[in-house]
Amino acid sequence: MIEARVFFDISLREVTGVREMVVQLGDGATLKQLLECLEKRFNPAVLGKEKEYCWRHGSDHIFISIDGRAIPKELWDKTLLSDGCRVSLFPPLAGG
């Protein structure tokens, strides 16, 4: 059994109602499986799949890091989670 600690950026907290949570998954779980659990628990907006999210952030992308390391979307289904890992979700970042 793997326990992943999930942290939500302030705008995603509006969707989830929580700052952080612990999700239990089976051994060998991937980031994609964790995200599917979050989507079922909350709704597609937690992953940027809602018009309001796209309008607010100008994109349907979401930035995800595990233990401070950015994980590109194309690796979500290949990235294995480890027990106690910290998964952080953020809307798209912009700078100026």
> Does residue 61 contact residue 76 with C-beta atoms inside 8 Å?
no
**pLDDT tens, residue by residue, 53-91:** 444 444 456 789 999 999 998 999 999 999 999 999 987
Residue 95 lies in a domain: no
| Spatial CA neighbour of 81 closest among 22, 30, 25 | 30
> Does residue 46 contact residue 15 with C-beta atoms inside 8 Å?
yes
Report the number of distinct structural domains present in the chain: 1
Question: For residue 53, what are the domain limits?
Answer: 2-90
**% of residues, the chain, pLDDT over 90:** 51
Q: What mean pLDDT value characterizes the chain?
A: 82
**pLDDT tens, residue by residue, 47-63:** 655 555 444 444 456 78
pLDDT at 55: 41
Residue 96 lies in a domain: no
pLDDT at 96: 46
- List of residues 6+ apart from 17 with CB closer than 8 A: none
Give just the sign of the alpha carbon dihedral 41, 83, 30, 11. positive
For residue 37, give the CATH number of its domain: 3.10.20.30
Residue 18 lies in a domain: yes
pTM for the model stands at 0.82
Average pLDDT over residues 32-47: 82
Helices (H), 8-50: 10-16, 31-41
